[in-house]
Amino acid sequence: MSLNTLFVCCIWLYLFHYSVEARVRHYNFDVEYMIKKPDCLEHVVMGINGQFPGPTIRAEVGDTLDIALTNKLHTEGTVIHWHGIRQVGTPWADGTAAISQCAINPGETFHYRFIVDRPGTYFYHGHYGMQRASGLYGSLIVDLPKGQNESFHYDGEFNLLLSDFYHTNSHEQEVGLSSKPMRWIGEPQTLLINGRGQFNCSVAAKFINTTLPQCKLKGGEECAPQILHVEPNKTYRIRIASTTSLASLNLAISNHKLIVVEADGNYVQPFSVDDLDIYSGESYSVLINTDQNPKKNYWLSIGVRGRKPNTPQGLTILNYKTISASVFPSSPPPITPLWNDLNHSKTFTKKIIAKMGTPQPPETSNRRILLLNTQNSFNGFTKWSINNVSLTLPTTPYLGSIKFKLNNTFDKNPPPETFPSDYDIFNPPVNPNTNIGNGVYMFQLGEVIDVILQNANQLSGNGSEIHPWHLHGHDFWVLGYGDGKFNEGDEKKFNLTHAPLRNTAVIFPYGWTALRFRADNPGVWAFHCHIEPHLHMGMGVIFAEGVDKVKKIPDQALACGITGKMFFNQGHY
């Protein structure tokens, strides 16, 4: 047998094995409002199949997920975004209203069908209005195929979905943000771990200096913390994802080091830390060794970072099974680093580098876009803008408009690719006014794009906020971070040898973040701040590439606006 014939046979056997092992996993999701007690008080929340958070999806690499999503909200549309899944070949399943699909109307069912092609820690969430703030989210875990093992060993696994929780509903928040003058949503009332937290009491009140009373939780109460039960002298993987609406968080476990091994579904060079900063839209895997005194239990805590906190820590317990889970830890919970200790945050972030063998970025790019984040005013309404354009979405999804070359559905003038070189990022804008727009950054298929995210001062007074930016449809290489204003000389500082691959990256106050990605996934993709009120106020842009290569889009994805009328006239319905 020749080498060529042997090679072809090996490939055929591999593909045959792969096709046998991969499977279609079917889910029926009913999105609805329900009354729950996530922080021990009754609230109306949004959930799936009666669950809050929604059910955890678990699949293996190569599997197809077929999720029939039925909207049972009665008075509003909905969609779900599968955060971190690149949707290669299925851009219509990205779950972004007015971008990849029409909102699913009350009573309708939409089938999301897509392949999960990489292992990792992901999640899903609503991407219509501010439904994520109402609780529309859940975990999505993709394992390696059976027979394949991770490069790191662990004996057991936990999954933590972190969120913040408001007592005002998302509709009230939206109205306030869109009012004149703007009414800010404020800080969240509670931090939740897997949908559980405590309001106006603390499970650690006996051990900390607080005015909050000790929580008196009854057995089986839905707001009681989920305990992490461990055996001594084992290694556990903890998957952590943040779907917060506003809060940046810090996570720590008393007396236990965290060894970071995964970020946003990509392996990183393992490193050890005492605590971990996690911004909205990010996910991590950490390993812990249960090598502490097995006659004690230990606190796991999350606290607010990056904003002056007015929200108590979220807490649960790491229980060594050698003693009762009802035994409180003997020491106070870990103290969250000061909210404005940016050096702590930057030190952690810069430790994240790609694991050896991770594809590295091309040495050069074809195109550079500089995006300035600013807070502005439009006819008296407070907005967030990118290069002085505040994003407002069209009524016809971009994917259909571009695919079918429709006119007058969105602004065909491309958005600005840079901002004035003399812009002073350290002071309020000289011109506080912004424009409203919905243009698209169009890329050639295969182009290598550099994006420089530049942070600036807020609209009035002194201050600059943290913004975690999330890219749909791609991962990007994080080439570097810098303080102050980006200039050409900063390119020499780019990390081209072990740049980590991520789908979400933070921009620090008065700083810049440099990203590089290859526009190799035909479709239309959102790129936006993952802080829910910031996106609602216009902090995002739209990327598109190779839309003519997109194969048949399900009619139902485009059954609104001009495409809906077009399909109706053609007799598709």
pLDDT digits (tens, 9 = 90+) for 11-48: 334 334 444 467 999 999 999 999 999 999 999 999 99
Q: Give the whole-angstrom CA distance, residue 545 versus residue 547.
A: 6
In a shared domain, residues 119 and 249: no
- Sorted by sequence, the CB contacts under 8 Å of residue 341 that are 6+ apart come out as none
Q: Tens digits of per-residue pLDDT, 327-346?
A: 999 999 999 999 999 999 99
Residue 274 has pLDDT above 60, yes or no: yes
Q: Which of 143, 178, 199 is the last residue of a domain?
A: 143
CA neighbor of 168 nearest in space, from 190, 147, 149? 190
Residue 119 has pLDDT above 90, yes or no: yes
In a shared domain, residues 272 and 136: no
In a shared domain, residues 203 and 97: no
Residue bearing the bigger pLDDT, 2 or 223: 223
In a shared domain, residues 122 and 163: no
User: Predicted confidence band at 211 (pLDDT cuts at 50, 70, 90)?
Assistant: confident
Give residue for tokens 């000389």.
489
DSSP, res 489: G
What are the helix (H) ranges across 450-538? 532-536
CA neighbor of 381 nearest in space, from 393, 392, 394? 392
pTM of the full structure: 0.94
- Name all contacts of 526-529 with Cβ < 8 Å and 24+ positions apart: 526/94, 526/96, 526/99, 526/470, 526/471, 526/472, 527/451, 527/469, 527/470, 527/471, 527/472, 528/391, 528/469, 528/470, 529/373, 529/384, 529/467, 529/468, 529/469, 529/470
User: Predicted confidence band at 217 (pLDDT cuts at 50, 70, 90)?
Assistant: confident
pLDDT of residue 15: 37
H or E element, residue 17: helix 3-21
Q: Among residues of the chain, what percentage have pLDDT more than 70?
A: 95
CATH of the domain at 35: 2.60.40.420
Q: Tens digits of per-residue pLDDT, 477-508?
A: 999 999 999 998 999 999 999 999 999 999 99
* Residue 10 belongs to some domain of the structure: no
In a shared domain, residues 217 and 290: yes
In a shared domain, residues 437 and 394: yes
Q: Is 556 helix (H, G, I), strand (E, B) or coil?
A: helix
Q: Give the whole-angstrom CA distance, residue 357 versus residue 144.
A: 17
Q: Is 349 helix (H, G, I), strand (E, B) or coil?
A: helix
In a shared domain, residues 371 and 340: no
Q: Give the whole-angstrom CA distance, residue 67 versus residue 65.
A: 6
What are the helix (H) ranges across 482-555? 532-536
In a shared domain, residues 165 and 263: yes
pLDDT of residue 567: 64
For residue 315, what are its two tokens?
Answer: 């807490």
CA neighbor of 102 nearest in space, from 565, 437, 541, 527? 565
Query: Given phi > 0 = left and psi -120 to 50 = alpha, else beta, which region is 363?
Result: alpha
Q: Give the whole-angstrom CA distance, residue 371 versus residue 473.
A: 19
Spatial contact of 22 and 64, defined as CB atoms under 8 Å apart: yes
Residue 8 has pLDDT above 80, yes or no: no
* Residue 173 belongs to some domain of the structure: yes
The structural domain count of the chain equals 3
User: Predicted confidence band at 424 (pLDDT cuts at 50, 70, 90)?
Assistant: very high
pLDDT of residue 220: 78
Averaged pLDDT for residues 452-456: 98
User: Predicted confidence band at 208 (pLDDT cuts at 50, 70, 90)?
Assistant: confident
Spatial contact of 181 and 380, defined as CB atoms under 8 Å apart: yes
In a shared domain, residues 421 and 317: no
Q: Which of 143, 173, 193 is the last residue of a domain?
A: 143
pLDDT of residue 4: 37
Averaged pLDDT for residues 183-205: 96
Q: Which of 101, 122, 143 is the last residue of a domain?
A: 143
In a shared domain, residues 135 and 169: no
For residue 430, what are its two tokens?
Answer: 């000289």
Q: Give the whole-angstrom CA distance, residue 546 versus residue 402.
A: 10
DSSP, res 209: -
pLDDT of residue 210: 83
* Residue 13 belongs to some domain of the structure: no
Give residue for tokens 């407070």.
382
Mean pLDDT of the chain: 93
* Residue 359 belongs to some domain of the structure: no
Q: Is the peptide bond before 416 cis (omega within 30 degrees of 0)?
A: no
* Residue 5 belongs to some domain of the structure: no
Residue 529 has pLDDT above 50, yes or no: yes
Query: Given phi > 0 = left and psi -120 to 50 = alpha, else beta, which region is 250?
Result: beta
Sign of CA dihedral 521, 526, 528, 530: negative
For residue 359, what are its two tokens?
Answer: 């594809």
* Residue 11 belongs to some domain of the structure: no
pLDDT of residue 492: 92
In a shared domain, residues 526 and 400: yes
Beta strands in 51-181 (DSSP E): 57-60, 64-71, 80-83, 109-115, 120-126, 137-143, 156-165
Spatial contact of 417 and 370, defined as CB atoms under 8 Å apart: yes
Spatial contact of 291 and 527, defined as CB atoms under 8 Å apart: no
Q: In what order do the strands lie in the sheet with 314-320?
A: 228-230, 314-320, 298-305, 248-253, 275-278
Cross-strand bridge partners of residue 16: none
For residue 166, what are its two tokens?
Answer: 């408001």
What are the helix (H) ranges across 314-371? 342-350
User: Predicted confidence band at 1 (pLDDT cuts at 50, 70, 90)?
Assistant: very low
Q: How far is CA 111 from CA 26, 125, 380, in A?
A: 10, 16, 41
In a shared domain, residues 139 and 169: no
CA neighbor of 456 nearest in space, from 399, 504, 398, 387? 387
Pairing of strands 64-71, 24-36: parallel
* Residue 12 belongs to some domain of the structure: no
* Residue 150 belongs to some domain of the structure: no
Domain region containing 61:
20-143
pLDDT of residue 458: 93
